[in-house]
């Protein structure tokens, strides 16, 4: 009986400290979303020399709009880079109740790609003229999330008491198949350039090889206020500026 009680307690603790997207992103309302205009300074350096390689401003506007006659979350992104090849405009529509993607469109110097998300597949938007990926088709399991909206996804998570969270992400149009990504959860303060220490949740992911990333989420707003990632000899930073 003692052994059974111990195993039960251990299983309870493990289940309480780990969470999946399906468990976290449910019964959402418009009040759960960080509506408004959010801007980030994004810059890349050489990890070995510290040499600045590129800078950009990313604007991400979260609002309530309509998609096919139904209320939806609309997220517009405008990336302005020192290298014009990095400029792009994105628009995404997601369900309000669980943040599942409905539609995603990206425009850059190469042209426009647009995708329609169905419960178990993603296909190119054939109704959009000059869609570069109109014949695209990708199957997936239910519950898939749009990786282009990772920061907005993180802002919706309840991380209190959790040690890790698993999220099924996919970058629309990518050759890399949809997959589950497990982030380790910890608590740490982020020290702003103005000397203020902000209590944060930190989401850490590593592929166990050359890539790792840390997202700092303000505990009050849930917003990502700082990110640093490393792959090969590249470091990239995102700092919330408005």
Domain ranges of the chain: 18-240
Instruction: Supply the pLDDT for residue 16.
Output: 45
Of 61, 69, 64, 70, whose CA–CA distance to 89 is shortest? Answer: 61
- In the chain, the percentage of residues whose pLDDT exceeds 90 is 84
Instruction: Supply the pLDDT for residue 194.
Output: 84
Give the start-end residues of each E strand in the chain: 18-20, 36-46, 52-67, 70-81, 88-94, 101-108, 111-117, 121-124, 137-139, 145-146, 164-170, 179-191, 197-206, 211-218, 224-231, 234-240
- In the chain, the percentage of residues whose pLDDT exceeds 70 is 91
Name the helix (H) or strand (E) containing 153.
helix 150-154
Quick: pLDDT tens for 116-172: 999 999 999 999 999 999 999 999 998 999 999 999 999 999 999 999 999 999 999
Write the burial class of residue 234 (CB in 10 Å: 0-12 exposed, 13-18 middle, 19+ buried). Answer: middle
**Which residue, chain included where needed, has tokens 């110097």?**
109
CA dist list (Å): 140 to 95, 103, 117, 167? 17, 15, 10, 14
Instruction: Supply the pLDDT for residue 219.
Output: 97
């Amino acid at each position: 009986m003692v052994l059974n009680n111990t195993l039960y307690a251990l299983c309870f603790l493990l289940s309480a400290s780990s969470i999946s997207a399906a468990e976290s992103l449910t019964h959402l309302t418009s009040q759960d979303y960080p509506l408004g205009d959010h801007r980030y300074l994004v810059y890349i350096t050489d990890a070995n020399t510290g040499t600045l390689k590129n800078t950009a401003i990313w604007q991400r506007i979260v609002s309530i709009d309509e998609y096919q006659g139904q209320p939806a979350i609309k997220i517009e992104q405008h990336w302005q880079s020192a290298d014009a090849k990095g400029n792009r405009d994105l628009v995404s529509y997601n369900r309000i109740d669980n943040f599942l993607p409905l539609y995603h469109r990206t425009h850059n110097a190469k042209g426009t790609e647009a995708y329609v998300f169905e419960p178990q597949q993603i296909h190119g938007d054939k109704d959009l003229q000059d869609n570069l990926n109109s014949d695209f088709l990708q199957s997936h399991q239910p519950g898939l999330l749009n990786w282009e909206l990772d920061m907005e996804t993180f802002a919706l998570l309840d991380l209190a008491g959790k040690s890790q969270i698993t999220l099924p992400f996919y970058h629309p149009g990518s050759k890399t198949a949809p997959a589950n990504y497990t982030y380790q959860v910890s608590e740490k303060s982020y020290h702003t350039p103005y000397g203020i220490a902000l209590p944060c949740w930190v989401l850490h992911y590593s592929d166990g090889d050359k890539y790792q990333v840390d997202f700092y989420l303000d505990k009050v707003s849930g917003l990502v206020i700082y990110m640093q990632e490393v792959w090969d000899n590249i470091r990239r930073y995102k700092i919330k500026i408005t």
